[in-house]
């Protein structure tokens, strides 16, 4: 019986090795999937580079795959007519035919047009324009659970599902850019892709590679950095670590995808907590130390995948309950102003919460010259937790019958949402839209003051 299983598993692996490259170079999918063909080697496909915010607003992190490396990864950056500066970084041989290249660029000035070009297999990519924004008053987009590949179950093939989700990912980024004013970056609340890579299972590795190609396929990602939380679908996937160049990455709260990390941008500190690791001692150490190191920065925003005060079905799960019992106290002691999550695939927003109690006394006003309602929240009263819906619509869950007492607003229509967040000197301004209607927000506008 054991031998029979072994033979089946070997035959399956051989089939996948032979047929997978054929699947992935199909012409229809060329814009979405890696090209494995002998002479193609990304010659027409330099579009898989991913930008991530750097350690602070003057820095920018890059990561891309190549097939060959001379041991050093290189990016060339310049202003129009200016001197070209080459930044060098680390290249890591992944042992699967690919090299992961990670480079950090620094000394960027605000409101400036740059061009960058990166080296891949001995060739320089075409220059890409990248514009820095205002460093003090700026917007960013928050979205969650693109989970590229999750709709494959409803489609004929995996490839169809990945293509559909990648299209929708491209579409939601486009809509959010149309609505916001030149955002500085995107924050994604985890579950960037669907398949949990498993070293022992060749088919899941290959499907995961395709999903990452889909995630990285929107051309917007060539000039808008994206900071990703580690979701439960990402936590054991090396592809996450190898595709994203996370700033100030620590080994605290670590899983295979990476650990807790942070960056600052203007007057805000962003802490990405890997809540798949339940070691609260390590998360506390990370948050305490990072907040202390950046104590003069006004706004503190935490991002993690598990929505402990969300409105969906995950609220009663053992891990979520454990995090809800242990993490808020650490966040409150460190005066976090806002928390962004995913996991439930249903948009919800909590009341301000302190010591596990929802705080009801906040002002609701009308926006000047409009009927739009605004919830004015003093961050000292409690932390607001926002959960993003599935931003691609790749998977939705039913809303549970019992409404969570922590939830101020829930939007459970099976429609993707995105949130536009503006960081100002005296307030954080938050407004959430559904994909197909950018005139009427799905929730009151939220203004957090401190």
Give me the residues that bind Fe ion (CB under 5 A), please.
145, 147, 191
CB-closest chain residue to Fe ion: 191
Q: Least distance from C-beta 60 to Fe ion, angstroms? A: 28
Question: In this structure, are residues 386 and 419 in contact, taking their beta carbons and an 8 Å threshold?
Answer: yes
Q: Least distance from C-beta 389 to Fe ion, angstroms? A: 10
Question: What's the CA gap between 263 and 240, in Å, rounded?
Answer: 18
Q: Least distance from C-beta 173 to Fe ion, angstroms? A: 18
Q: Least distance from C-beta 150 to Fe ion, angstroms? A: 7
State which residue, 191 or 375, has the beta carbon closest to Fe ion.
191
Q: Least distance from C-beta 314 to Fe ion, angstroms? A: 9
- At residue 137, what are phi and psi to the nearest 5 degrees? -110, 115
Q: What is the CB-side half-sphere exposure of residue 102 using CA atoms within 13 A?
A: 17
State which residue, 147 or 392, has the beta carbon closest to Fe ion.
147
Q: Least distance from C-beta 417 to Fe ion, angstroms? A: 14
Question: What's the CA gap between 283 and 323, in Å, rounded?
Answer: 11
State which residue, 170 or 193, has the beta carbon closest to Fe ion.
193
Q: Least distance from C-beta 402 to Fe ion, angstroms? A: 21
Question: What's the CA gap between 189 and 249, in Å, rounded?
Answer: 17
Question: What's the CA gap between 219 and 199, in Å, rounded?
Answer: 30
State which residue, 49 or 141, has the beta carbon closest to Fe ion.
141
Question: What's the CA gap between 370 and 445, in Å, rounded?
Answer: 12
* Length of the chain counted residue by residue: 450
State which residue, 314 or 349, has the beta carbon closest to Fe ion.
314
State which residue, 285 or 313, has the beta carbon closest to Fe ion.
313
Indicate the Cα dihedral angle 119, 121, 122, 123, nearest 10°.
-60
Question: What's the CA gap between 352 and 373, in Å, rounded?
Answer: 17
Q: Least distance from C-beta 86 to Fe ion, angstroms? A: 39
Q: Least distance from C-beta 147 to Fe ion, angstroms? A: 5
Question: What's the CA gap between 210 and 309, in Å, rounded?
Answer: 33
Question: What's the CA gap between 177 and 141, in Å, rounded?
Answer: 8
Question: What's the CA gap between 31 and 222, in Å, rounded?
Answer: 14
State which residue, 145 or 337, has the beta carbon closest to Fe ion.
145
State which residue, 145 or 211, has the beta carbon closest to Fe ion.
145
DSSP 289-319: HHHHHTTT-SEEEEEEEE-TT-SSGGGGSHH
Strands (DSSP E) found in 326-380:
338-342, 347-350, 353-354, 357-358, 363-366, 373-378
In the DSSP assignment, the letter for residue 48 is T
State which residue, 102 or 314, has the beta carbon closest to Fe ion.
314
Question: In this structure, are residues 169 and 219 in contact, taking their beta carbons and an 8 Å threshold?
Answer: no
Q: Least distance from C-beta 231 to Fe ion, angstroms? A: 6
CB atoms within 10 A of CB 96: 11
State which residue, 20 or 396, has the beta carbon closest to Fe ion.
396
State which residue, 102 or 305, has the beta carbon closest to Fe ion.
305
Question: What's the CA gap between 149 and 11, in Å, rounded?
Answer: 25
Q: Which two tokens stand for residue 102?
A: 């990670």
Q: Least distance from C-beta 316 to Fe ion, angstroms? A: 16
Q: What share of the chain is helix, strand, coil (3-state, %, to 5)?
A: 25, 30, 45
State which residue, 176 or 389, has the beta carbon closest to Fe ion.
389
In the DSSP assignment, the letter for residue 180 is S
CB atoms within 10 A of CB 364: 9
Q: Least distance from C-beta 232 to Fe ion, angstroms? A: 7
Question: What's the CA gap between 345 and 394, in Å, rounded?
Answer: 9
Q: Which of 225, 226, 208 is nearest to 98 (CA)?
A: 208
């Amino acid at each position: 019986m054991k031998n029979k299983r072994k033979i089946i598993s070997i035959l399956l692996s051989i089939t996948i090795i032979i047929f997978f490259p054929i699947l992935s170079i199909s012409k229809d999918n060329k814009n979405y999937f890696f090209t494995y063909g002998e002479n193609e080697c990304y010659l027409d496909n330099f579009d898989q580079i991913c930008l991530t915010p750097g350690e602070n607003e003057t820095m920018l992190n890059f990561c891309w795959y190549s097939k060959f490396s001379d041991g050093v990864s290189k990016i060339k950056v310049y202003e129009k007519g200016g001197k070209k500066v080459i930044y060098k970084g680390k290249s890591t041989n992944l042992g699967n035919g690919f090299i992961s290249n990670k480079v950090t660029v620094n000394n960027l000035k605000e409101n400036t047009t740059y061009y960058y070009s990166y080296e891949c297999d001995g060739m320089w990519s075409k220059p890409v324009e990248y514009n820095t924004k205002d460093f003090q008053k700026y917007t960013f987009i928050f979205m969650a659970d693109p989970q590229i590949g999750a709709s494959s179950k409803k489609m004929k093939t995996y490839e169809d599902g990945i293509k559909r989700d990648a299209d929708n990912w491209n579409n939601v980024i486009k809509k959010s850019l149309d609505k916001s004013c030149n955002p500085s970056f995107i924050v994604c609340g985890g579950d960037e892709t669907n398949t949990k890579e498993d070293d022992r299972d060749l088919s899941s590795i290959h499907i995961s590679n395709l999903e990452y190609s889909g995630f990285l396929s929107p051309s917007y990602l060539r000039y808008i950095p994206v900071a990703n939380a580690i979701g439960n679908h990402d936590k054991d996937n090396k592809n996450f670590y190898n595709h994203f160049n996370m700033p100030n990455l620590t080994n605290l709260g670590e899983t295979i995808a990476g650990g807790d990390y942070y960056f600052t941008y203007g007057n805000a500190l962003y802490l990405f907590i890997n809540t798949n690791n339940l070691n609260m001692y390590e998360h506390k150490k990370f948050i305490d130390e990072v907040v202390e190191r950046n104590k003069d920065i006004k706004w503190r925003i935490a991002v993690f995948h598990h929505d402990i005060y969300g409105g969906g079905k995950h609220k009663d799960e053992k891990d979520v309950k454990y995090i809800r019992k242990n993490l808020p106290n650490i966040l409150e002691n460190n005066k976090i102003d806002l928390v962004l999550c995913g996991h439930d695939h249903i948009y919800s927003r909590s009341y301000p919460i302190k010591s596990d109690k929802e705080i009801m006394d906040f002002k609701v006003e009308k926006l000047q010259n409009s009927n739009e309602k605004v919830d004015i929240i003093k961050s000292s009263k409690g932390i607001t937790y926002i959960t993003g819906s599935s931003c691609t619509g790749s998977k939705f869950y039913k809303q549970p019958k019992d409404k969570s007492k922590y939830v101020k607003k829930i939007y459970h229509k099976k429609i993707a949402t995105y949130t536009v967040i503006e960081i100002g000197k005296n307030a954080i301004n938050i407004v959430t839209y559904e994909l197909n209607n950018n005139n009427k927000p799905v929730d009151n506008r939220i203004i957090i003051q401190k």
